[in-house]
Structure 1
Amino acid sequence: MFNGTVPSTNSTHNGTYGNTTGVSWLPSTEKVRGVNLGSQFIIEPWMAYDEWNSMGCGDLNDEWQCVRELGQETADAVFDKHWNTWITQDDIANISSLGLNVVRIPVGFWLKEDLVLEGEYYPRGALKYLDRLVGWAADAGLYVIMDLHGAPGGQYPDQQFTGHVVHKPGFYTPENYERAAGFLEWMAQRIHSNRNYRTTGVLQVMNEPVHAFDYPAEAADMIKNFYPTAYTRIRAMERSLGVRPQHQLKIQYMGDAWGSGDPTSFLPANATNLLFDDHRYYKWDSNVEQTNSGYISAACSDDRGGTDIIVGEWSLSINDYYQNNSEFAINSDAGVDVTTQKEWYQSFWAAQVQAFEQSGGYIFWTYKCNWIGGMDEWRWCYQSAVANGVIPDDASSAVSLSPCS
């Protein structure tokens, strides 16, 4: 358990590892089976309602608004308490005990505090807790995907996950590309020179940028100008540290299925150690028949692509219009047999897992929630779904539970 101290943010590898090291990643023979640590470093009020209220931010929409409203010093103090308690060492041990092998950690660019401009509002002081968290993961035998989840200017409209809800995404400028690239090369350096990060094997350059069908110019510009810059800056940092090619980070982009375009279009011809992220929420797929059998059929027939594709976000949630009807409701107040409902959701979980493991694997969104819509909404929350007997306590059991023939 945490003893009340946090490691120095300047800690480096000892003599056994030298000044820098190649990080380790999951063996190629294993599938990614993981969970996101959502709302640890970017709080999304929709999934952490009680926590957000306890911080004095209950009627505010995002971290930016909370810091601006509370004032920097007060906000830093309440966020410090949150970072220290939201995901604990016991949580990390529990994740490992459930047969999972990866955690994805969403972070904002403001973790590197000198990138924050005058007039921007973000909490300060999270880095020591990130150092501690990845160290816990390494000690527990878990691998880490470090995910740049919140970009300078906001990369997607009207989303709390960016840390600053904006109606028009402001990320797509040379100045903000430079800030994001600066974050990525700094993070690459930290990963290779701080022993706590020894199992942080993947660095994701951007979570959920705009779709090309909504913002064609922005998406095209990002793929042409930011994506190759991110790659070359990370690799240049690794070369400067003497990291051998076989010990490099895997660099992850949102894949083709996300809809921003081909992420490899302008990458160097010799680009190596690439992974791709795919977010698969049947909840928002209008082609899925809104019945028990329709959802199962969609999952069983899904093909997400090759082993370099990881389904980095997914859930058990159902279309908003249907989620509380007799087929899908998850509480007895709706007049349903909760036991039968849980059995179906376990089948839905297993069908998705089986499909995603045909590719590189999966990372559930998310590990922990805090009263979504006034209820224990385990369709989004791995920890709660296990506690309610929906997701089994051994992730490898999916094939034996799957309804897919």
Structure 2
Amino acid sequence: MTAILKHLTLSLAVLCCAACADRADGPTDFIRTDGVNLVDGNGERFEIRGTNLGHWLNPEGYLFQFPKSANSPHRIHEGLCQLVGPAYMERFWRTFRENYITREDIDYIASTGATTVRLPFHYKLFTGEEYLGLHDPEEGFALVDRVVEWCRDAGLRLILDMHDCPGGQTGDNIDDSYGYPWLFRSPEMQERFIAVWRGIAARYADEPTILGYDLMNEPIAHYFEDKEELNAELQPLMIRAAKAIREVDPRHILILAGAQWNTNFKVYDNWTFDDNLVFTCHIYKCPPSVNSLKGFAAFRDKSQCPMYMGETGENTDEWVGNFRKALDEMNIGWTFWTYKRLDAQRSFVSVPMPEGWQKICDFLAADRSEYGLIREARPDQSEIRRILDIYLENCKFANCRPNDGYVAALGLNP
């Protein structure tokens, strides 16, 4: 066992004992599957309708409107450290985590009539590996604990989504990877993936606010020549992860993604290894009609497991409204991507863009392949720090602009 896994196992054991003691008298209203539907503790049908808390625990460059040279967490962090220094960036990320999603955000989402939020996260938050200035394996639990409390108080259900898996599961910026889905070629990374999920499940086994565990976001991009070999590894890994989770948590729903960005479900021919499974699809660029969903619905009817659209959107209000209606018609629950964006209308709320933000983008887009070029491209640090500080204030809920048309297009109440 590696040092990381040993540390992880010991930390999780202590945390889980404390969590179980705290929740001994908690509610037992777990969401579960019933054929192709979800039901609550009273057997009444439950519909997933909500949004993603994207960007918060797994920053994406385009949600900062950064260039592609800074499109994943480690590339964003490296570029900004070159720009303003690592000490400032440690403070920046700490404040970003405090400000970007708060109780006020969760209360607002609940006020619209949404039922569910999906929380994407980076696995490193639970291992002690360096991540955006952090080295604390308890940080992930502290953050999730906070969101669980807010959602419980607001009456929302929470889906935990491992967006960035050990080694990388997509081979692109989306999972903070290194250009290839190394997870499927590395026994060590697979053991770490399973260990993190087992620890999360042990801690939250008695927490009904959590609807389920979305085990792996968008596995295996489509452009690898060996994608069929990689695809063949997905179902066996999901079965191993499910077995480990069920050793500590018999009740929460397990949510399984299709290959090739959550679109290919031919990789699954076994859906009987667990009796509480949901499959999750993602699709963005498509006609907003039921015809775009028939393949997903066909697999749902074949497996007799619910189908859930974990991500979609990024389009006009008209498109969002039409596609939401199609999802409802096809009995496919949804969490549109994403709740909050910088200077955008395609989200629940928009963060005002600080004046001078383009200077940051220009630096990140510049040639920084040599140290001399970094020094040459760097603008005045004090000015950039001031701009980043303004962003940290602007991203607070009180300073954001609601996009009422977008929310209304989702059939929710602005």
Normalization by structure 1: what TM-score?
0.69
2:344 pairs with 1:382:
no
Superposed displacement of residue 14, structure 1: 5.6
Distance change in 2, residues 1:73/1:236 (3 Å): farther
Structure 1, unpaired ranges of 5+: 1-7, 239-244, 286-294, 318-344, 399-405
Aligned to 1:199: 209
Superposed displacement of residue 223, structure 1: 2.1
Structure 1 segment 212-231 matched on structure 2, within 5 A: 214=224, 215-224=227-236, 226-231=237-242
Superposed displacement of residue 138, structure 1: 1.2
Alpha-carbon contact 2:122-2:165 (below 8 Å) kept: yes
Distance change in 2, residues 1:394/1:100 (3 Å): farther
Superposed displacement of residue 31, structure 1: 1.5
Aligned to 1:311: 309
Question: Over residues 122-156 of structure 1, what are the superposed CA-to-partner deviations in whole Å (9 max), with x where a residue is unaligned?
Answer: 54254222211121011100001100110111111
Aligned to 2:319: 348
Question: Over residues 208-234 of structure 1, what are the superposed CA-to-partner deviations in whole Å (9 max), with x where a residue is unaligned?
Answer: 01146731111212323x111111000
Aligned to 1:186: 199
Alpha-carbon contact 2:205-2:248 (below 8 Å) kept: no
Superposed displacement of residue 42, structure 1: 0.3
Aligned to 2:335: 363
2:71 pairs with 1:61:
yes
Superposed displacement of residue 34, structure 1: 0.8
Question: Over residues 170-209 of structure 1, what are the superposed CA-to-partner deviations in whole Å (9 max), with x where a residue is unaligned?
Answer: 211211111100111011011125xxx4401200110001
Aligned to 1:249: 252
State which of 259, 262, 269 in structure 2 corresponds to 1:265. Answer: 269
2:48 pairs with 1:32:
yes
Which one is further off, 66-75 or 307-316?
Answer: 66-75
2:195 pairs with 1:169:
no
Structure 2, unpaired ranges of 5+: 1-13, 32-38, 351-399
Query: Secondary structure of the equivalent of 1:209?
Result: coil
Q: How high is the sequence identity, in percent, across the aligned residues?
A: 23
Question: Over residues 348-375 of structure 1, what are the superposed CA-to-partner deviations in whole Å (9 max), with x where a residue is unaligned?
Answer: 222211211222311000000013xxxx
Structure 1 segment 5-404 matched on structure 2, within 5 A: 12=19, 17-18=23-24, 24-25=30-31, 27=40, 29-49=45-65, 60-68=70-78, 70=81, 75-114=89-128, 116=129, 122-124=132-134, 125=136, 126-127=139-140, 128-159=142-173, 161-162=174-175, 164-172=176-184, 173-192=186-205, 197-211=207-221, 214=224, 215-224=227-236, 226-238=237-249, 245=250, 248-255=251-258, 258-262=262-266, 264-265=268-269, 269-281=272-284, 283=285, 285=286, 295-296=287-288, 298=289, 302-303=293-294, 304-305=296-297, 306=300, 308-317=306-315, 345-357=316-328, 358-371=330-343, 376=344, 378-379=345-346, 381-384=347-350, 387-393=402-408, 395-396=410-411
Query: Secondary structure of the equivalent of 1:187?
Result: helix
Query: Secondary structure of the equivalent of 1:271?
Result: coil
Q: Cα RMSD over matched residues? A: 3.3
Amino acid at match of 2:181: P
Distance change in 2, residues 1:264/1:237 (3 Å): farther
Amino acid at match of 1:95: I
Alpha-carbon contact 1:23-1:249 (below 8 Å) kept: no
Give the structure with the larger helix fraction. Answer: 2
Amino acid at match of 2:283: R
Alpha-carbon contact 1:152-1:179 (below 8 Å) kept: yes
Query: Secondary structure of the equivalent of 1:171?
Result: helix
Amino acid at match of 1:312: G
Superposed displacement of residue 65, structure 1: 3.2
Alpha-carbon distance in structure 2 between the residues aligned to 1:90 and 1:122 = 24
Query: Secondary structure of the equivalent of 1:81?
Result: helix
Alpha-carbon distance in structure 2 between the residues aligned to 1:392 and 1:261 = 30
Number of equivalent positions? 320
Distance change in 2, residues 1:271/1:165 (3 Å): closer
